[in-house]
Amino acid sequence: MGARPRNDTRIHKTVNMQRHTIDCLFVRTKIEDRALRVVIVGAGPAGSSLAIRLADQGFDVTLIERDRFPRHKLCGEFISPESLAHFQELGVRDDLLSLGGPRIYKTRFSDRKGRSFVISSGILNGEGFALSLSRYEMDRCLMNRAKALGVRVLEGTRIANVMADGKSITGVEVVGDERETIVADLYVDATGRASALRKMADRKAENGVGESGKPLAIAFKAHLKNVRIEPGTCEIFFFPGGYGGLTSIEAGLANLCFMMNASKARELGADADVLLRKAVCQNRTASSCLESADRVRDWLAVSISSFGRTTRSRMPNLLSVGDAAAFIDPFTGSGMLMALEGSKLLAEIITSASSGPASLQKRYDAAFARAFGRRLRVCSILRRAAFLPVVPSMAISLLGSTRRGRNYLAGATRSQAASG
């Protein structure tokens, strides 16, 4: 008798069943790995983007925000060209572009006497234009995206208490519409320069002590109408004791944000309208742009007690992101970018973790230093120069004559030097 014909159909079914079993095991393992519960406090760009990235990978994420959205926030409201690629990954780029924020094609830096140089948005990595959009709209868009991905969002909710066993956080008690205790494996402080969660947690740590320090600078922000500003331009102007930025935003308004040395501000009275007249408008460009301007909202103000990298938490299962991790100087126009880059970096570390949350802090610190250490050091030097009486004018005169120098300076405040 001849050999019995092979039943190829049966073989294929067996192989497919085996593959299906392997696939199911792989998917189940991934899901089990994603069982890590994450609480993020602060729903600004860093917190919301981190929540989006983790939720997209299947993590159980709770996002806690003290305010109710939408709300206004002190910010330069400048979204650099490189940030748009991050917003594409987060699934909100097209939504943000549809909200009416003007595209910014150049940034002009002016000294007190009106001497200036221009940096084109096209020299930076990205799409060749920046975007100027209020935090009122941008933060709402990011939060809605987080909700759509299944993130549990608690608005109008404050942290009332941090529970700890002396070595790590065991839970947070929150007060909002209800009072409840939320338990997670990993906690992230995205509360901005205040670092509110880290400070509360460190007071719980063994021998923990509170931080203190006098303000180094004071920042102010307001939305204006009837501003004279060249379309597609972000204006950065230096004045005695500080610098400011002006850019058009949606609805025909403009955003003015300026920062001053704290002692200089106190010397002039620390009233924002007085400082605008006596300090900011000593810059000729600022005076011309703001001559007919009217404020449409009250001033927002914050004091700034530190720049650069913040202190690492004593709690190993608490990490920081955005301004809570490091505050980069606003005149670089890269604050938003650094918040988005930092949240992506942290999300990648959490996603790839093969052990418990306690090991994440050291890995994150090392990766953060590699990614941002150089630009923070460069900005520290530039900041000191910006507050000196003569240096900004000298630098503007020099950079106005060398395109290579302008491009290198722009790149030095980012991940790599700009080309050109």
Give residue 335's pLDDT band: very low, low, confident or very high (50, 70, 90): confident
Please say whether the beta carbons of 238 and 386 come within 8 A. yes
What pLDDT, on the 0 to 100 scale, is given for residue 125?
A: 65
Candidate from 13-22, 135-144, 203-212, 332-341 with smallest mean pLDDT: 13-22
- Per-residue pLDDT, averaged over 327-337, amounts to 78
What pLDDT, on the 0 to 100 scale, is given for residue 72?
A: 92
What pLDDT, on the 0 to 100 scale, is given for residue 358?
A: 66
Residue-wise pLDDT for 377-395, tens only, equals: 877 777 666 666 555 555 5
User: Please, what is the end-to-end C-alpha distance for the chain in angstroms?
Assistant: 80
Candidate from 226-230, 328-332, 373-377 with smallest mean pLDDT: 328-332
Q: Is the pLDDT of residue 417 over 50?
A: no
What pLDDT, on the 0 to 100 scale, is given for residue 345?
A: 96
Reported pTM: 0.83
Three-class SS of residue 97?
Answer: helix
Domains, the chain, with CATH or none: 1-73+134-210+308-384 (3.50.50.60), 78-132+214-304+388-420 (3.30.9.100)
Phi/psi of residue 389, nearest 5 degrees: -65, -40
Three-class SS of residue 304?
Answer: strand
Pairing of strands 169-175, 308-309: unpaired
Give residue 203's pLDDT band: very low, low, confident or very high (50, 70, 90): confident
For residues 193 and 16, the model is more confident at 193
Q: Is the pLDDT of residue 224 over 50?
A: yes
- Among 255, 269, 266, 184, CA closest to 225: 255
Q: In sequence order, what DSSP letters do the residues of 314-325 get, joined into one string? A: SSTTEEE-GGGT
Three-class SS of residue 240?
Answer: coil
For residues 21 and 356, the model is more confident at 356
**In 34-108, where does DSSP find H-type helix?**
45-56, 83-90, 93-97
Q: In sequence order, what DSSP letters do the residues of 178-231 get, joined into one string? A: SEEEE--SEEEE--GGG-HHHHHHHHHSTT--------SEEEEEEEEES----T
Residue-wise pLDDT for 260-313, tens only, equals: 989 889 998 879 999 999 999 999 999 999 999 999 999 999 988 877 788 888
For residues 39 and 355, the model is more confident at 39
Report, in this order, helix, strand and coil percent for the chain, each rounded to 5. 45, 25, 35
Q: Which residues pair with 245 in a beta bridge?
A: 236, 257
Candidate from 38-42, 364-368, 388-392 with smallest mean pLDDT: 388-392
Place of tokens 């004071």: 218
